[in-house]
Amino acid sequence: MEKYLNETEIVNFSNKEVAKLAKELAKNTTDDEKIAKRCFLYVRDEIHHSGDYKDEITTCKASDVLKYKTGWCYAKAILLTALLRANKIPTAFCYQRLSCSEYEKGVYCLHGLNAVYLEKYGWYRVDARGNKEGVDAQFMPPLEKLAFEPQENEYDIKELYSDPLPEVLEALQKNSSYKEMIQNFPDIKE
C-alpha cells in the first residue's frame, strides 16, 4: 500500500497550497470516506476540465492544477491523488481507453481517473473529470458512477498504477495548448 501513498515531483502534496487545501478538506473528520468525497467534489467541481473550457494551458503537477484551476482528466486525477495522499488515503491512477471523437473524429485515447482505497469498501474508482451535459460522475460507494461507461471498441484498463503512465506524463509535458493536446492525446496500443 505504501506506493499508493508516495509523494513525487508530479504528486507534490507537500506544496504549501496543496497541503493547505488537503488539510481544509479534512477539517473536523478523520473518516476516510468523508475526506475522499470532499476531495473528489472539490476537484470535480472547482477545477475546470481543460477540454470543456478550451483552456490554453496544460497543467501537470498537482500544484499547477490547483494554481491555474484547470487540467485535463489526467491532471485532475493527479491533483485528486495529491489531496488524498496528503490525508494518508491510498490512491491509484487508473484508465479507460475511449473514443475521443468529441475532439477528433476516429481517434481513441486514454481517459484518466482514480481508484481510492476506502477502509469500508477496498478499492473504489472515482472520476473527477468534471460533469457536463451527458456526464454525471458521482461519489456513492460502493456503487461506481464514473463519467463514462465503455461503449463499442472502448474498455476499462484493470491495472492500478502508483504513478501516471509515461504516455500521459509525456502528453501533459509536451503539449502546452488545447489544440496541441487534442491532436496528441495519450494512447496505448494492445
- Rounded-to-10 torsion of CA 62, 94, 108, 182: 0
- Nearest CA to 58 out of 173, 166, 165, 185 is that of 173
Q: How far is CA 72 from CA 17, 87, 106, 140, 170, in A?
A: 20, 23, 20, 23, 13
* Helix, strand, coil percentages, rounded to 5, for the chain: 35, 25, 40
Per-residue pLDDT tens for 108-120? Answer: 999 999 999 999 9
Question: From the first residue on, what is the mean pLDDT of each consecutive set of 10 residues in the chain (190 residues)?
Answer: 97 98 97 98 98 96 98 98 98 97 90 98 98 96 97 95 98 96 88
Q: What is the pLDDT of residue 183?
A: 93
Q: What is the pLDDT of residue 106?
A: 86
Phi, psi dihedrals of residue 159, rounded to the nearest 5°: -65, 150
Contact 187, 96 (CB under 8 A): no
One-letter amino acid of 70: T
DSSP element (H, E) containing 52: helix 50-53
Task: Domains for the chain: give ranges and CATH numbers.
Answer: 2-181 (3.10.620)
Q: What is the pLDDT of residue 104?
A: 84
Phi, psi dihedrals of residue 124, rounded to the nearest 5°: -140, 120
Cβ atoms < 10 Å from Cβ of 44: 21
